[in-house]
Structure 1
Amino acid sequence: MVKKQVARYIETEHLFSLKDRVLVALSGGADSVALLHILLSLGYTCEAAHCNFHLRGKESDRDEDFTRQLCHKLNITLHTIDFDTEKYAESHKISIEMAARELRYQWFSEIKEKCKASVIAIAHHQDDSVETMILNLIRGTGINGLLGIKPKNKDIVRPLLCVTRQKLIDYLNYIKQDYVTDSTNLQDEYTRNKIRLNLIPLMQEINPSVKDSLINTGNHLAEVYKVYQEATHQGISRVRTHEGIHIEALLKEPSPQALLFEILHPLGFNSAQLKNIYDSLYGQPGKYFISSKGWKVTKDRELLYISKVEDKDTPPPFSLQIKEEMYSSTFIIPTDKNVACLDADKVKNEFTIRKWEHGDTFIPLGMKGRKKVSDYLTDKKFSLLQKENQWVLCNGNEIVWLIGERLDNRYRITPNTRKIYVIKQISVNKVNF
């Protein structure tokens, strides 16, 4: 019965075909062992991949030994690897769970290419999907997070989402195939385990078929989501600009908060931040918010600007082409703002490029007195994002050029100029969100 369910699911979800080679992620647990057996019995060509994360001492080595023996018995190729997961998590400043996830999926992708597999089969089952729905609901999510686990994500496929863990165990008992048990699955240290061991049993006291109810709800939402997605895409196209979100257009939409969520949540903004961002739409310009994924939203008069967070070591999104030429009276100074022409003999130090800073001053071309860069940008009606992204070319501590905007008068070309620098701003690379 289980085999027929899986075969039908693979076909209806178009996960892969009999001509495809399948790389099976094999942990040694009941779900992955069942997945391997089912696929082999259905006639698929499989290879297996096992990661030893060395997080459970002898138990980790036991799991690896088990997968070796199983694959030898089934006469299929097994790929294995050892990871220092704790070191990776520490160096990348992420959780152990996230470190293990990143390591295994990166390696699975490498092995897939090596063995010329078409897909990577993961043994997530129906119970995992239910737990994911509840986990996302607890953390805060949009409709997409309530759909459970997707059967296919690029080359990652999950053929067992149509069956429960208990059915997989019953199948293994029927074919008399043993498996290993991860002892950490019996502990409620991790959030997912707390859901599995504590929350779901409590929900089953209220409704014994709560898992089926949640799966049915997820299936219904998947259909609703198609309609929602179409309407959302149309709404986003009306409010989004290449710099961010047009506030007036957003507030005219039937559900501004929903559109704001769909645009900003994928960039790492959490529910509390999204509420604060929405509230800021009615406030004064200048407020900004930074997401966990390194994105920044800045409230200006007409726009919510969206940009990547930069640090002092972030290189400018352009390069400067500098040419030295002899000057003559026939030279025509370009009017292009991306080109600066200046007296080379007045440059006594090496050029440096940096973002402008509060307190910076320069003498704008054609003027005699100093002016604060901040005042200049305000007078020119620069937006907050434009101000943030203004770079300056310096000669020592002096500003030579507000790049792409205005030359400093001290470096202008005069009748006494002999040599000039022609500086051109090129290769502008904008980060799209």
Structure 2
Amino acid sequence: MRRILDPLEFKVLKLVQSQNLLSKGESVLVALSGGIDSVSLLHVLLRLRDTYRLRVCAAHLNHKLRATADRDEAFVRDLCAKLKVELCVEEIDVAKFCEENKLGIEEGARKLRYQFLEEAKKKLQCDVIALAHNLNDLAETMLHRIVRGTGPLGLVAMKPRFQDKVRPFIYIERSEIEEYAKRRNLSFVEDETNYDIRYTRNYIRHVVIPVLRKINPSVEKALLQLHVSNMLIERHVEQFLRRQRLVRFKDRTIFSSRKLSEFELVELLRNCVKEYGEQLGFEHVQQLFEHAHSPSWRIELAKGLWLEKGFDLFCIEREHHVCTSLKLEKLGPYDFNGWCFELSDRIKSDQYVFVKPPVLVRVRKPGDRIASKKLKDLMIEARIPSFLRDEMPVIEENGIILWVPYVYVDKRLNERLKNDDFLVLNLLEDPLRVILKLRKEEE
């Protein structure tokens, strides 16, 4: 006999189908606090169990923050026993953890909760974790982020599905869930701290949103429109990022800014900086636009992490040691700031020079000149990015500059071709080679 679904259950079913939240035969772990939202979610998934051939389990974390925390645990244990749902329970002293790690209670509890859910998922061998966040939670989170400061993509909070976490209630208002619990005569417990406006989220819920409702009674739905719009922007950015050509060389990430809009440039930078474990702040974006028309500049993003521009190229780099000089005397390989040479008796590269050891490889020095021109001007003419100039190899023999790769080579070296006393200094690998390839691709 086909089961008739409650209107809320049918609404969840449609969301599950449209957002691909669940697959048939999956095992679902419900994060079960014992509150009205998570208890309702558990019952809804149990009602959809036959349709999707689901295995439904639950997990409860006792935070030990309230006198009634043990009551909540006992309620959840009893509920799962009655419903014959497998349950994983753990007790953690959240207050102690937050004190030891210098975290706020909200932040620390959230961190521990997600760690526990991942562990419970493995223990019960589940495929996904179902969270009971609803539309009101989404609105509160978005307002919280707006107040703290965020960009468009920062407002893409609490997606219907993200990795192994699903939120079947995310587009359903809390009032609909309350009505469902009433219709189904569901028992639940209530966290008394939900009314303590000393917590930021509760202050937004009980003070800020009621004020906003005076302006727009459907403020949650208005914020939902913003959420969905920004999800579309996020998808566009993700596609854009996948198409970008990035050059990663040791402590650097380099890319071309040609053909990028300001928005694309900021998002690409934000993504690159994140890979270094840092965040691109608003103050950095402001500095970026202040220097927009300068051909070269350098700003510090975090301690030891720099953003530099040279011509049309951007470079994010970790502070690193720079070798200032290196003497080449014997045959074999040499590494000079990522420029890999080999001193050999034969030509092994399209970039080489004939030398007679000992040869000095050094960085440029103030006042370096080649004939009548400053070395700095020659580097600019060769479009060498500023972030490479102070590390580039200058090949010197008896105080005379013979070769600066990609910039200058002494024409008199051709006369050495017939002389067997000379060796070949081959340039096998270098950061500029990949940059030149990147520029060619861009053109």
Is the TM value for this pair above 0.5? yes
Pick aligned residue for 1:21 from 27, 41, 57: 27
Pick aligned residue for 1:255 from 254, 257, 261: 261
Pick aligned residue for 2:89 from 80, 83, 86: 80
Partners of 1:125 and 1:163 within 8 A in 2: yes
Name the aligned partner's letter for residue 98 of structure 1: E
Name the aligned partner's letter for residue 136 of structure 1: R
Q: Does 1:177 align with 2:190?
A: no
- Name the structure 2 match of 1:70: 79
Partners of 1:6 and 1:162 within 8 A in 2: no
Partners of 2:63 and 2:69 within 8 A in 1: yes
Measured in 2, the distance between the counterparts of 1:185 and 1:244 equals: 45
Measured in 2, the distance between the counterparts of 1:13 and 1:3 equals: 15
Name the aligned partner's letter for residue 332 of structure 2: P
Measured in 2, the distance between the counterparts of 1:12 and 1:280 equals: 45
Pair 106,255 (structure 1): closer, same or farther in 2 beyond 3 Å: same
Pick aligned residue for 2:290 from 279, 283, 290: 279
- Name the structure 2 match of 1:357: none
- Name the structure 2 match of 1:130: 139
Partners of 2:308 and 2:387 within 8 A in 1: no
- Name the structure 1 match of 2:59: 49
- Name the structure 2 match of 1:150: 159
Name the aligned partner's letter for residue 300 of structure 2: Y
Measured in 1, the distance between the counterparts of 2:210 and 2:241 equals: 36
Q: How far is 1:4 from its partner?
A: 0.8
Partners of 1:261 and 1:274 within 8 A in 2: no
Pair 299,165 (structure 1): closer, same or farther in 2 beyond 3 Å: same
Secondary structure of the residue aligned to 2:129 is: strand
- Where do 5+ consecutive residues of structure 1 fail to align? 311-315, 317-330, 342-364, 391-433
Give the alignment's TM-score, normalised by structure 1: 0.66
- Name the structure 2 match of 1:37: 43
Aligned residue pairs total 335
Q: How far is 1:151 from its partner?
A: 0.9
- Name the structure 1 match of 2:335: 337
- Name the structure 2 match of 1:289: 301
Partners of 1:51 and 1:80 within 8 A in 2: yes
Name the aligned partner's letter for residue 138 of structure 1: V
Measured in 2, the distance between the counterparts of 1:224 and 1:300 equals: 27
Name the aligned partner's letter for residue 134 of structure 1: L
- Name the structure 2 match of 1:270: 281
Q: How does 1:103-122 map to 2 (within 5 A)?
A: 103-122=112-131
Measured in 2, the distance between the counterparts of 1:20 and 1:366 equals: 67
Decide which moves more: 225-234 or 96-105.
225-234
Decide which moves more: 222-231 or 186-195.
222-231
Q: How far is 1:204 from its partner?
A: 0.9
Pair 301,167 (structure 1): closer, same or farther in 2 beyond 3 Å: same
Deviations 1:245-304 (A, max 9, x none): 54xx42x545324421443164422222322244345566443121xxx88233254454
Partners of 1:89 and 1:99 within 8 A in 2: yes
Pair 388,70 (structure 1): closer, same or farther in 2 beyond 3 Å: farther
Secondary structure of the residue aligned to 2:61 is: strand
Q: How does 1:202-221 map to 2 (within 5 A)?
A: 202-221=211-230
Name the aligned partner's letter for residue 287 of structure 1: I
Measured in 1, the distance between the counterparts of 2:160 and 2:100 equals: 32
Name the aligned partner's letter for residue 41 of structure 1: R
- Name the structure 2 match of 1:401: none
Pair 274,92 (structure 1): closer, same or farther in 2 beyond 3 Å: farther
Deviating 4+ runs (over 6 angstroms): 338-341, 371-374, 378-390
CA RMSD across the alignment: 3.7
Pair 253,37 (structure 1): closer, same or farther in 2 beyond 3 Å: same
Secondary structure of the residue aligned to 2:332 is: coil
Deviations 1:130-182 (A, max 9, x none): 22222233333333333442111111111111311111111112222222222
Partners of 2:28 and 2:127 within 8 A in 1: yes
Q: How does 1:303-318 map to 2 (within 5 A)?
A: 303-307=313-317
Q: How far is 1:385 from its partner?
A: 6.7
Measured in 1, the distance between the counterparts of 2:387 and 2:58 equals: 50
Measured in 1, the distance between the counterparts of 2:211 and 2:204 equals: 10
* Identical residues among aligned pairs (%): 30
Measured in 1, the distance between the counterparts of 2:100 and 2:178 equals: 38
Pair 162,307 (structure 1): closer, same or farther in 2 beyond 3 Å: same
Pair 8,295 (structure 1): closer, same or farther in 2 beyond 3 Å: farther
Pick aligned residue for 1:139 from 120, 143, 148: 148
Pair 309,14 (structure 1): closer, same or farther in 2 beyond 3 Å: farther
Q: How far is 1:101 from its partner?
A: 2.2
- Name the structure 2 match of 1:3: 9
Pair 232,111 (structure 1): closer, same or farther in 2 beyond 3 Å: closer
- Name the structure 2 match of 1:241: 247
Deviations 1:338-380 (A, max 9, x none): 8999xxxxxxxxxxxxxxxxxxxxxxx767xxx999969x999
Name the aligned partner's letter for residue 35 of structure 1: L
- Name the structure 2 match of 1:195: 204
Name the aligned partner's letter for residue 265 of structure 2: L
Measured in 1, the distance between the counterparts of 2:170 and 2:216 equals: 21
Secondary structure of the residue aligned to 2:68 is: helix
Q: How does 1:317-332 map to 2 (within 5 A)?
A: none
